Chains A and B, each alone.
Chain A
Amino acid sequence: MFRLAIEKALNHMINVNGINITRLDSSLVSVYVDDIDLRLFFLCLNSRIFVIENSEQKNTNVDITLNKKAFLALFKGVSFEDLIESEDIEINGSIKTAQQLADLFALSSIDIEELISQYTGDIIAHQLGQTIDRIKGSPSQEKDSFVENLKNEFTTLLIAPSRSKLFKKGRSR
């Protein structure tokens, strides 16, 4: 769900803004956020981005290792130069390719802090907590969006019970 959310947001942004990513074509970029042990692989093909696991262990064109603070900063548009100066990031491979991907992060409106909190926290508790917050703070005119939100929460519970404690043993790939 985490990777899918980033993938969807990036591709939506690319489509809506008509961004040309052909310069990134066929690139496989690894991003490793070391302090939360989060590894993402960004594959650029056919004018779209896939956020994958790379369980096939294909060779990457660029490897970026950074901490959570620097990862969040990339989505806020902080430049690589600043991050390199503060020694929060390590890049192996083409800095130009890495910068192009980082530019996409910055342009996207991904709420990465929210996604990270879902990744690191108890997802179900987080979702239910959010739903309760919405109930508390929802005036009558927000009834439709509340129903929509509730529908989304139940959808997640129904299609991915493996995220619940009951099925925690089995993890999807």
Chain B
Amino acid sequence: MDKTTHFGFKQVDVEKKQGLVKGVFDSVAGKYDLMNDVMSMGTHRLWKNYTISSSNVSEGDHVLDIAGGTGDLAIKFRKKVGESGKVILSDINGSMLNEGRKNLLNHGIIDVDFVQANAESLPFEDNTFDCVSIAFGLRNVTNKDVALQQMYRVLKKGGTLLILEFSKVENEMLKKIYDLYSFNVIPKFGEFFANDEDSYQYLAESIRKHPDQETLKSMALDAGFGFCEYHNLTGGIVALHKAIKT
């Protein structure tokens, strides 16, 4: 039986998706932060600040940032947990992890650990972390249910999972503007700033294939979390799901 999954709007073999996503992120790693600023007009920083603010993370906590990429969440988490805490930045993609390492060094942070890992098979003990975060990464994971179960496993009781991800726009007028922008403008930005139109076409497509707010909430509850709620940001362009292990 052949199993397929989506890669943007294309259907591909399940085992091929990871390699295709790797190709996208190898290609965009060097310009990732610049492109985030250009595409979101800087708003991604506000979304991430809101995520940190919602995290309930305090001094001494252990935090795992999955698909942590260039490390902007890890830098903020490190400030919150202090020297008595621990932050681990993980990413499946070596190029992104290298960018993260450089970025953290530029911020004078040397005590964050870097782990190259697949979210579907996290190499950590059960009940290890007070908080697990994944920002703009879950939609690229092939088997999201398995990844959510892994996040549940590595969290302590009372630990929090934060999923910041593109989601479904609620307002019809905003949706039209957003569709126009993401399918016509973003790929052109990709071509202009990063010389890579295809990767940013994938970005726009992958957002549309990602589960909507309620579906993702159900998936988190199915993975074992006792509570899950979400908050729409910028009219639902992005949603922050917060799930609690009970």
Residues of A within 8 A of B (CB): 4, 7-8, 11, 15, 26, 43, 45-48, 50, 52-56, 58, 155, 158-162, 166-167, 169-170, 172-173
Contacts and interface: CB of A to CB of B under 8 A. Distances in A.
A88 to B, nearest CB: 29
A167 B171 contact: yes
A161 B49 CA distance: 16
6 contacts: A8-B53, A48-B58, A167-B235, A169-B171, A170-B232, A172-B236
A162 B235 contact: yes
Contacts of A172: 230-232, 236, 239
Contacts of A55: 229
B56 A48 contact: yes
Interface in B22-41: none
Contact of B156 (A7, A26, A46, A161): A46
Contacts of A45: 157-158, 244, 246
Nearest to A48: B56
B159 interface: yes
A15 B227 contact: no
B227 A58 contact: yes
Contacts of A4: 53-54
Query: Counting chain A CB atoms within 10 Å of each CB, which of B130, B160, B235 scores highest?
Result: B235
A45 to B, nearest CB: 3
B136 to A, nearest CB: 15
B170 interface: yes
Interface string B221-246: 10000111111111110010000101
Nearest to A7: B56
Nearest to A49: B56
A11 B227 contact: no
A57 to B, nearest CB: 11
Contacts of A169: 170-171
Contacts of B213: 173
B6 to A, nearest CB: 26
Nearest to B244: A50
B9 interface: no
Given A15-B59, A46-B158, A159-B46, A173 B171 contact: no
A173 B232 CA distance: 8
Query: Nearest 3 A-B pairs (CB), nearest first?
Result: A46-B158, A170-B170, A45-B158
Contact of B46 (A48, A54, A155): A155
Nearest to B221: A56
